[in-house]
Amino acid sequence: MIFSRKRAGAERRPRDQRPEAPDAHEPTDSVAPAPGPYDVSEAPADVQRLDLGSLQIPAVAGVEVRVQADPQGVVQQVVLVHGQNALQLGVFAAPRSAGIWDEVREEIHRSLSHDGAAVNEVMGAYGVELRAQVPTQDGRTDLRFVGIDGPRWMVRCVYQGEAATDPDAAGPLTVCLEGLVVDRGQEARPVREPLPLRLPRDAAEQAAAGSSAAEPKPAQQA
């Protein structure tokens, strides 16, 4: 099944519409938090988010959240869509000692190159990222891979559309990423294991109700 929800209201403004940082010499009562993704222990409060378990996605105007799940409600894919741009999100367990994006990035680079893609490493807002032109049946498709290491987790992002070649074109998708919250939990997990994602409760209940309605009723005995 595929669950889709479009956000009507924005809780965070795009980067170019946010107020400038206060001057260090001017008194201020509050300072805006640095952009995320945030660990759940450090996430700003009072922000409307879609709770998918390990990922909590902020409400941003015009961004549609598409979630693909199996019949048991286990989420297999999360994609944010705004216009012709898309952002696929994945979240994985990482060790306490160090991040894993450098290692993961090298493996993605090798895999894409082996499949005939043209791949470049560039410096982005979160460090080194990959930009690739991947061969498909319809020609080459641009993809941009971004990784963010957090405390015992890593978020992997894949941009498609114009946002794959021009980060400024990502607009509201970047705002979603900057407001993303990761709830890793305390369980011990193998490094790189995908953290569990689930449908929101209302969507899961609807899916369960639909599944029950579709089940054939037992035949009545004469």
**Cα 173 to Cα 18, 64, 65, 183, 216, distances in angstroms:** 15, 10, 10, 20, 42
pLDDT > 70: what percent of the chain? 75
Q: What is the pLDDT of residues 4-37, one digit of tens each?
A: 665 554 443 333 333 343 444 444 445 556 789 9
Burial class (CB in 10 A: 0-12, 13-18, 19+), 136: exposed
pLDDT of residue 112: 97
**Cα 88 to Cα 127, 178, 204, distances in angstroms:** 18, 14, 21
pLDDT of residue 2: 55
Q: Is the pLDDT of residue 172 over 60?
A: yes
pLDDT of residue 36: 92
Q: Model pTM greater than 0.95?
A: no
Q: Is the pLDDT of residue 69 over 70?
A: yes
pLDDT of residue 74: 82
Burial class (CB in 10 A: 0-12, 13-18, 19+), 127: middle
Contact 91, 194 (CB under 8 A): yes
Name the residue type at position 170. Answer: A
User: Distance between CA 62 and CA 199 in Å, rounded?
Assistant: 20
Contact 28, 67 (CB under 8 A): no
User: Distance between CA 69 and CA 52 in Å, rounded?
Assistant: 11
Min mean pLDDT across 47-61, 68-82, 106-120, 152-166 is at: 68-82
Domains in the chain (CATH in brackets) are 38-199 (3.40.1000)
Q: In which band, very low, low, confident or very high, does the pLDDT at 219 lie, cut at 50, 70 and 90? A: very low
Burial class (CB in 10 A: 0-12, 13-18, 19+), 195: buried
Q: E-strand spans in the chain?
A: 2-6, 38-39, 49-51, 55-58, 64-69, 75-82, 85-93, 118-124, 127-136, 139-150, 153-160, 181-182
Burial class (CB in 10 A: 0-12, 13-18, 19+), 181: buried
